[in-house]
Amino acid sequence: MPAQVLVVDPDLSTQQLLAQNFGHAGHLVDCCADAESALALIQVRLPDLLLLEWELSGQSGEALLRRLRGCPRTRALPIIMLTARAAEPDKVLALESGADDYVTKPFSPRELLARTGAVLRRLAPPAGEAIELAGLHVDPGTRRVSAGARQIALGAVEFRLLEFLMRHPERVHSRPQLLDRVWGRHAVLDERTVDAHVGRLRQALLPSGRHAHIQTVRGAGYRFAAAAQARA
């Protein structure tokens, strides 16, 4: 499944190389050059994976790593340090600070893609595992959704949409991303299709009071919020 990757590296050639290779592998890539820009992007949309250079202007990559690990929203974010710092103490410090992997430059794009896949597989919920969040229980094995004792009937697309959003709580997904990940990369559909199915999903959740967890983020897309708020 495609991943949303954020590259934080001041070197433009590294950004371009990673964007090209990860893009060819089917992933969606954002790039920035410093910690403050990275935090601003993460505030808007939580990525599936962060590729982080140590040497950044202002706040270092290692300091950003510690900051992200100290925040509940980003504590489980997969992070790979991708840096020219190859000394063993640096590797140990990064791993002890919470990095999931450490890759030194120069690197093989093919090896990095393989390491990325391994990290995402290791940290992703097992396929078919039931999800319990915000009072909703989703069981892919039986295709059943419930809120307490109340059973919630969903169509096949609405079920996949809810499951996907609940497996990535708090992350904002654009309409094109949802078309790719819920309908499939080869689906030829209008983006308004997403809006229609989100509306049906909310309608199905309305009697249980869980509809407000499916939130609209203006200009960005949709997310599942563990704490329900008024929709934007």
DSSP readout, 83-107?
ES---HHHHHHHHHHT-SEEEESS-
pLDDT per residue over 133-163, tens digit each?
A: 999 999 988 889 999 999 999 888 899 999 9
| Calpha distance 129→134 (Å, rounded) | 16
Q: Domains of the chain by range and CATH? A: 4-123 (3.40.50.2300), 131-224 (1.10.10.10)
Q: What is the mean pLDDT of the chain?
A: 88
Helix (H) / strand (E) containing 6: strand 4-8
Q: Is the dihedral of CA 223, 16, 2, 101 positive or negative?
A: negative
| Calpha distance 90→229 (Å, rounded) | 42
CA 66 to chain centre: 19
Beta strand residue intervals within 68-220, DSSP E: 79-83, 101-104, 131-133, 136-139, 144-147, 150-152, 214-217
pTM: 0.60
| Calpha distance 214→200 (Å, rounded) | 11
pLDDT per residue over 90-123, tens digit each?
A: 998 998 888 988 999 999 999 999 989 888 877 6
More confident of the two residues 185 and 30: 30
| Calpha distance 227→210 (Å, rounded) | 10
Which one-letter DSSP state was computed for residue 159?
H
Give residue 129's pLDDT: 83
Nearest to 80 by CA among 111, 59, 57: 111
| Calpha distance 42→50 (Å, rounded) | 10
